[in-house]
Structure formats: structure tokens, C-alpha cells
Amino acid sequence: MLSLKLPRLLSINQVPKGYQEQGILFGYRPPRSSAADCLLSVFQMTNETLNIWTHFVPAWYFVWTLVGRLRGAVPPAWPLLAYLLTCCIYPLASSCAHTFSTMSTRARHICYFFDYAALSMYSLGSALAYSAYVFPAEWVDSTFHRCYVPVAVFNTLVSTSLSCYSRFLEVEQPRFSKASRTLAFVYPYLFDSIPLFYRFYLCAAESCTEAAVLLHYKHTVFAFLTCFIFASHLPERLAPGHFDYIGHSHQVFHVCGILGTHFQLEAITLDMAERRRRLPLAVIGLCAASLRFMPEPLQREKPHGH
């Protein structure tokens, strides 16, 4: 008769240094687990279980949203669809990385290489959507607007390279590794958000109450909270061993990141709808302005009577 045996869990002193997490003392899965053991551990309470599910479930929510957009009556908006695709990929890649990261040291690095690449692609997807829908009207077609997406592509390459390289420093220089990885994701986010920060400035100056801007505020708060929790290792740093299974920083970091993406998607959708409403007016205004350059038709002279 087929019997399924759940993997035996280990303490922090029983796993190699590269597998250890600050402030988490118990609940580690054995290194060199088989793929079957990794899949079984998804249904076992370990210190990785909620890391897996807090990204696996939202990934399918974003897939459902993407499919709904593709099937919708409104013609597809390609920048939004590209952004939505990256919203599906990054939590799914993260979930898979956490699931299979204990197969071997080499597999662990490869899993997180894909995870970091997916996060960098999400940053690029955000830049595509921001370029199409979020840019302030006075910045559209400016030099910065034309360079914005190419620079975002370059940032994606740099971010992926730096974050992947940081893994090679993890054992010997853990603090520098953490700082490098944090910088690899903070810098592209700050660059992508330049047009958004300018809109925040204008909104504060004019005391505006745009629904999209209010949602962007929420997204930004969760983005900064995500970064803070990731870098600080709170709360397990203050009470080692008390948050091994539920409530440690990586779980909270996942939840804040997903909530931030949700609010970002809602804000971008509102901005896209607003831009579509303004487009006919902009076309009419452009055509009306162009009339100034059209020559007036010559009037025919009336024939003189004899």
C-alpha cells in the first residue's frame, strides 16, 4: 500500500549556513530533498510553507485577471497586458523557488536566479504600464519619456545581474549580499516611480483627490513597507524562535508585496480609463490647432456686369 512520509524538519544548527535564516530557529526542511519531498512539504507546516502559499494563490488571481482582460469586450491594451503577465509570473516563480530550493545548493541558487529575474521583469512591466498610462500629461513625448522604457530595460539587466551575483556572497559576506540584493530591486523601483512621484508632488500642491492617485499612494506605502520588512528581518529578529512558522518577515514581505501590486493594478487601470476618455478630446484639440496652418480658400471674384 502506498504511504506518504513527510520530510523530517531540522533546527538551524542542522542545516548549512547558506540555508539559515536570521531569527528562525526551527522548521527547516532537509537539504538535498527530492522533488517529491519538496512537493509534499507544501502541505506540511514548515518555515517555508506560508512563503509558498502567499505567492502561489495570488499568482492565480492575477492569471484570472489577465484572462478576463483578454476575453473582455474592450480591445486589449498591450502595455496593461504585458504588465499583468509579469504580475502572474513573479509570484509563481517565487512560489516555485521556495518549493524546490532544498533539492541541492546548486538547485537553490538556480531557483532564486529565476525568482530574481521574474521580479526584474515585473519592474519592467510596471515601467511599460507607467509609460503608457501614468506619465503626467506635460511629460508625454518629452526626452525623458522617450528614454524611459529603454532605461528600464537596462535596469532590468542590471537588477537581475546584481541580485544573482549577490547569492555568491551570501555565506562569506551576508550583510553585503543583502545590501546588494536590496539595492538591485530598490533602484529600478525608484526609477520607475519618477513620473508617479511627480504626480504626487502636483497632487499635494493642488490638493487633488484623484481616485487613481489615492490608489498609487497605497501602492507606494506597501512598496516601502515591503522593502523595510525585507531588509530589517522584523519581527523574528527581536524574538528568535517565536515566528518560525507564522508571521516571520518573509511571509509579511510577500503579503505586503502582493497588496502593493493589487493597488498598483487598480491605479493603473483607472489611469488607463482616464487616458482613454481624454484621447478623443486630445485628437479634436490637435485637429483644431492644425487648422491654423491650413490656407484659407481663395474667393472667386464676381463677374462684372456690362
pLDDT digit string, tens, across residues 105-118: 999 999 999 999 99
Q: How many of the other CB atoms lie within 10 Å of CB of 249?
A: 22
Question: Quick check: 163 and 178 in contact, CB under 8 A?
Answer: no
Q: How many of the other CB atoms lie within 10 Å of CB of 305?
A: 4
The yes-or-no verdict on residue 305 having pLDDT over 80 is no
Quickly state the pLDDT bin for 282 (edges 50, 70, 90).
very low
Q: How many Å apart are CA 34 and CA 235, to the nearest integer?
A: 31
pLDDT digit string, tens, across residues 153-205: 999 999 999 999 999 998 889 899 999 999 999 999 999 999 999 999 999 99
- Partners of 28 in beta bridges: 10
Query: What DSSP designation does 10 have?
Result: E
Q: Look at phi and psi of residue 233 and say left if phi exceeds 0, alpha if psi is from -120 to 50, else beta.
A: left
Residue 179 neighbours by CB under 8 Å, 6+ apart: none
Q: What are phi and psi of 28, to 5 degrees?
A: -80, 140
Q: From the centroid of its chain, how far is CA 12?
A: 31
Pick the CATH number of 31-275 from 1.10.3470, 1.20.1070, 3.30.1220, 1.10.340: 1.20.1070
Q: What is the pTM of this model?
A: 0.88
pLDDT for 191: 98
pLDDT for 302: 52
Q: How many Å apart are CA 294 and CA 45, to the nearest integer?
A: 74
pLDDT for 31: 94
Residue 85 neighbours by CB under 8 Å, 6+ apart: 66, 125
pLDDT digit string, tens, across residues 19-65: 999 999 999 999 999 999 999 999 999 999 999 999 999 999 999 99
